[in-house]
Amino acid sequence: MKQPPEPVAAFLRGRRFAVAGVSRDGKQTANAVYRKLRESGYRVVPVNPAAREVEGTRCYPDLASLPEPVDGVVAVTPPGAGVDLVRQCAQAGIPRLWLHRSFGAGSVSEAAVAEARERGVECIAGGCPLMYCDPVDPVHRCMRWWLGKRKRVPV
């Protein structure tokens, strides 16, 4: 794969991430992101206020509860949760937030993007880490191309 856009490359240079929105139902998109990051060698912790454990790993209710600092958060949550996640990132000193979006609104909200800008949290609005973590599967490679044509992935 050619070099990813700089915001993506900067995000993925981190080594420890939280994925907000993971579910006890392993078929959810957030869980796929969580697994792919782990398989790619990152240290990843799940975040969901309604789950104590996800995929055999302790799950944390919020970013303040994480056992160690993380380099970034991937939000695979409803758009309305974004502003709160930005605030949690700022309070915890987490420098980067990726608001997941493939088709539809995903986790992106203009309010969350504006809040991130105001609080100094680097924010990727759209796309998915699975479109950039090698090896990229054919489905995510096609999605990256398709969504890129519609300016819905990081540039």
For 20-57, what is each residue's pLDDT tens digit? 999 988 889 999 999 999 999 999 999 999 999 999 99
User: What's residue 1's pLDDT?
Assistant: 55
pLDDT at 131 over 90: yes
Domain range 6-149, CATH architecture: 3-Layer(aba) Sandwich (3.40)
Of 47, 101, 55, give the one whose Cα is nearest residue 78. 101
Full-model pTM:
0.93
Can you give the residue ranges of every domain in the chain?
6-149
Pairwise CA distance, residues 53 & 45, whole Å? 10
